[in-house]
Structure 1
């Protein structure tokens, strides 16, 4: 995503922030509409549900370490969403990508579907439920450039609505921005980001967990990470096969150490200063 100042407008048709939300950059033609599954009938009564679109179905798997997404495109959005309402169980919110100018052709939609699937898989934040990578098309360079521009707008709007589907975790910065957790034989590196604590690929977690940890919620998450291949056995340890963002420093430390931990104290920078001292007790603006 290009990083520059943007003005994004969010419209609440019912006035409810938890209801249907529309997001757009008013100078561009792309509009995203987020629809809670419970309010699908309300959306189907809106004129925006007629015609074609690229759409996304989001859900949280009961036994998945990552949220799930299904990405599709259709020339008849209303019919397709009704079908998914009957046949797909996992999703709880849909997001549709529309053209305010009704200018998305079938070729645009097919190209964007494939591009979205590829970028979502590359980012690795969500489990992509599609069986294929979308249709491969012979498109002109101008068409590809146009679709890339549409995608860029959609990417910004998607993240604004709370779905960072296409965003890779922040890249590793210099050593001053790294924190380490070496308790109980673990050897993990992480960054404290706006989203939480990002434990980095190659970090090593303790292979065993304490008895008191086994009845805690983080133990279930640890098992999910193992099942998803985010954590893989490496001798008597578990190794992170990819960067993984935890919502809190303590959650990250608990998974790494296999015990309940205060992450603000467990994570330390290269100088031995705790995350608490460096961030919470650090210089104030």
Structure 2
């Protein structure tokens, strides 16, 4: 899915705490999202929307620290969560997704449940406790279009409330265009990273505010940093689980393009340890570091004001 139009999102911290219950709504969308830590689940399930038809997510971790999720649906999602509260002890956060005036029906909820499980498994960031992929219910063409539009907006809202199991960082395999000989404005800027000590090389391009490591780039087979529980160490393991990084002899290879949130995140995954990406990445064909290139861009932007 492509997000090309700006949207306005309203977050409401129910009890005034950033780590407490949060509701999220978006202009011109009937959906309503409520997230609640398990410690506040009794209060959350006492809210009117908890009795609506909708879908819910239970989020937590496995004993090994891997993100774990369960996606379900119900005509009274509060009742369903109460039953899961008894049977599942691993989850720490619940997310309730409903629509204003209880406009979703059972078939809508089952369709959204099936699609969300499908997307989560395709992204591969999180282990799923769900069983086999549930079949989509039979909906009219109009209802399918409405639910796909609902899903489109929901997948935009969820990351804002720190639910990222649906965030797809893989990118198309097509090669981006670069600056041509006529000096036209570049559509992408290319970088390289050479980790000669371990015979590892990687390439990336910067486009539309993202640093995308290209398929075929190499990375360390294992995380060798001081702590395997660091955020970058977990990311390295996550990319292997999701088959973004594929073992190939003594190293891994990127099976697809992958967008990182920072140059240092990309460099750390490639080197298998914490690394300063601002100095590890170099502008292709030069000795200029990412840091120096970035400073040049900022300088040019300031001069243009």
> Which TM-score applies when normalising by structure 1?
0.83
Aligned pairs for 1:90-109 within 5 A: 90-109=90-109
Following the alignment from structure 1 to structure 2, what is the Cα–Cα distance between the partners of residues 193 and 256? 20
SS at match of 1:182: strand
| Deviation (angstroms), 1:280 | 4.7
Once structures 1 and 2 are overlaid, which stretch shifts more, 32-41 or 264-273? Answer: 264-273
8 Å CA contact retained: 1:195, 1:247: no
Give how far 1:22 is off. Answer: 0.8
| Superposition deviation, residue 87 in structure 1 | 2.6
Instruction: Check the 8 A contact 1:9/1:25 in 2, yes or no.
Output: yes
Shift of 1:140: 1.4
Structure 1 equivalent of residue 132 of structure 2 = 132
Asked whether the equivalents of residues 187 and 203 of structure 1 are also in contact (C-alpha less than 8 Å), the reply is yes
Q: Distance in 1 between matches of 2:132 and 2:123?
A: 17
Displacement of 1:198 in angstroms is 4.8
Cα distance in 1 for residues equivalent to 2:207 and 2:51: 40
Match of 1:283 in 2: 298
CA distance in 2, matches of 1:63, 1:14: 32
Cross-structure match for 2:84: 84
Instruction: Using CA pairs under 8 Å that are at least 6 residues apart, name the structure with larger relative contact order, 1 or 2.
Output: 1
Give CA-to-partner distance per residue, 1:5-41, whole Å, 9 cap, x none. 2222222221222211111124321111111122111
Q: Which moved more, 1:134-143 or 1:197-206?
A: 197-206
* Cα distance in 1 for residues equivalent to 2:207 and 2:43: 37
Per-residue deviation at 1:153? 2.1
Give, in angstroms, the shift of residue 233 of structure 1: 2.5
Question: Which residue of structure 1 aligns with residue 247 of structure 2?
Answer: 233
**Secondary structure in structure 1 of the residue aligned to 2:268:** helix
- 1:214-259 Cα offsets, whole Å, 9 max, x none, are 5333695445654664433213322233455555433432332245
Decide whether the 8 Å contact of 1:117 with 1:133 is kept in 2: yes
Could you tell me which runs of 5 or more consecutive residues in structure 2 were left unpaired when the two chains were aligned. 179-187
Partners of 1:254 and 1:187 in 2: how far apart?
13
Aligned residue among 244, 263, 269 for 1:249? 263
Report the Cα distance in structure 2 between the residues aligned to 1:33 and 1:170, rounded to whole angstroms.
Answer: 28
Q: Which moved more, 1:262-271 or 1:108-117?
A: 262-271
Partner residue of 2:183? none
* Structure 1 SS opposite 2:298: coil
Q: Does 1:155 align with 2:155?
A: yes
Matched positions, count: 281
- Deviation of 1:151 after TM superposition, in Å, equals 1.2
Residues 1:262 and 2:276 aligned together = yes
Which residue is equivalent to 1:183? 195
Matches of residues 146-225 of structure 1 in structure 2 within 5 Å?
146-169=146-169, 171=171, 173-174=176-177, 176-184=188-196, 185-191=199-205, 198-207=212-221, 213=224, 215-217=226-228, 221=234, 222=236, 225=239
Distance in 2, Cα, partners of 1:60 & 1:279: 37
- Cα pair distance change 1:203/1:41, threshold 3 Å: same
Task: Determine if contact 1:158/1:165 at 8 Å carries over to the other structure.
Answer: no
Compared CA separation, residues 126 and 186, structure 1 to 2 (3 A): same
2:252 aligns to what SS in structure 1?
strand
TM-score (norm 2): 0.78
CA distance 1:159–1:75, change in 2 (3 Å): same
Moved over 4 A (4+): 191-198, 222-230, 242-248
Q: State the alpha-carbon separation in 2 of the partners of residues 216 and 81 from structure 1.
A: 35
